[in-house]
Amino acid sequence: MTHESLLSVENLTTVFDTPAGPLPAVDGVDLSVGRGEIVAVVGESGCGKTVLSLSVLGLVPPPGRVAAGRVFFAGRDLLALPERELRAVRGARASMIFQEPMTSLNPVLTIGDQVAEPVRTHRRVSRAQALEAAGAMLAKVGLPDPARRMRGYPHELSGGQRQRVMIAMALILSPELLIADEPTTALDVTVQRQILDLMTHLARDTGTAVVLVTHNLGVVAQTADAVAVMYAGRLVEYARVGTFFAGPAHPYSQGLLASLPRLAGRGGRLSSIPGMVPSLSALPPGCHFHPRCPRVFGPCAGQAPPFFTLPDGRRTRCWLYG
């Protein structure tokens, strides 16, 4: 299936300014997402997934800043837009589901007013019409008794219910681009399935492009069309989902897949990747993964590998394929 490209990220580099100098949280990432396509960005905690998603919409908090690169959305470079024009895009045409709902919701506004706010901001409708749309959206994401919940406040909801409110706010205007940062983390498996089905429906039926940030490879297998694997700020592999799960190319991707528990292997030890994701202030030279890599050899510690395109179409950043 071919997808008309909606989002194109080129050489995106985001740094955090510190007394020791700028630290690269996102390092030269290239990524493309087509209309109606779901691309999952995966990797360990601290690899740069969330910073990448915030960078796309110009939401990186100080002392972070986008130091280089371009982000084209529907042909326009978002990073070159004035803040006023960028705000018109955010929420209406491009939305984000944030990772931590408690810090993203306003504690002194009712749930109904918060979910209705994007409608009132970007559409010329009355408050009553916006609240009606909010109630319908809350019901769609599975919030129990939405009419009553709309009159309540965030502290009256559980973590999973607050997460559903955040999802409703992001989806209420049927955005062209949805960036979902760990959208199902606080949800039980039945509601998780409901939310993933909702996002899949958006992509397939309305052409919404979805960037799904997650560490859950099970969710990736069920939902995504393509997988982008990040490690220490860099993209190390990009592949279609079927190709990826049939056999990842990069040793880090292989380690991630091997660490998944399997029903057939009951009683054995889980495989793991030795070591930790390196600190941004002490990144190894060359390939950042080489100190943890079981297949490390000569050039790995000397120079960062470029992307190599393999015969099956996947791209990987590993000297094994050079």
Is residue 163 included in any domain, yes or no?
yes
pLDDT digits (tens, 9 = 90+) for 115-149: 999 999 999 899 999 999 999 999 988 899 999 99
* Co-location of 59 and 191 in the same domain: yes
Geometric angle at alpha carbon 153, from 146 and 113, rounded to 5°: 70
* Co-location of 69 and 150 in the same domain: no
* CATH code of residue 51: 3.40.50.300
User: Is the pLDDT assigned to residue 268 strictly greater than 60?
Assistant: yes
* Co-location of 163 and 14 in the same domain: no
* Co-location of 180 and 277 in the same domain: yes
pLDDT digits (tens, 9 = 90+) for 75-122: 999 999 999 999 999 989 999 998 877 788 999 999 999 999 999 999
Buried b (16+ CB within 10 A) or exposed e, 304-313: ebebeeeeee
Q: Which domain range does residue 196 map to? A: 1-93+176-262+270-285+314-322
Q: How far apart are CA 237 and CA 322, in angstroms?
A: 14
Q: How far apart are CA 133 and CA 272, in angstroms?
A: 46
pTM exceeds 0.85, yes or no? yes
Helices (H), the chain: 49-56, 83-89, 101-104, 111-122, 127-140, 146-149, 159-171, 189-206, 217-223, 241-246, 251-258
* Co-location of 276 and 165 in the same domain: no
SS3 of 199, please? helix
How many domains does one find in the chain?
Answer: 2
Look at residues 113, 143, 174 and tell me which one is the last residue of a structural domain. Answer: 174
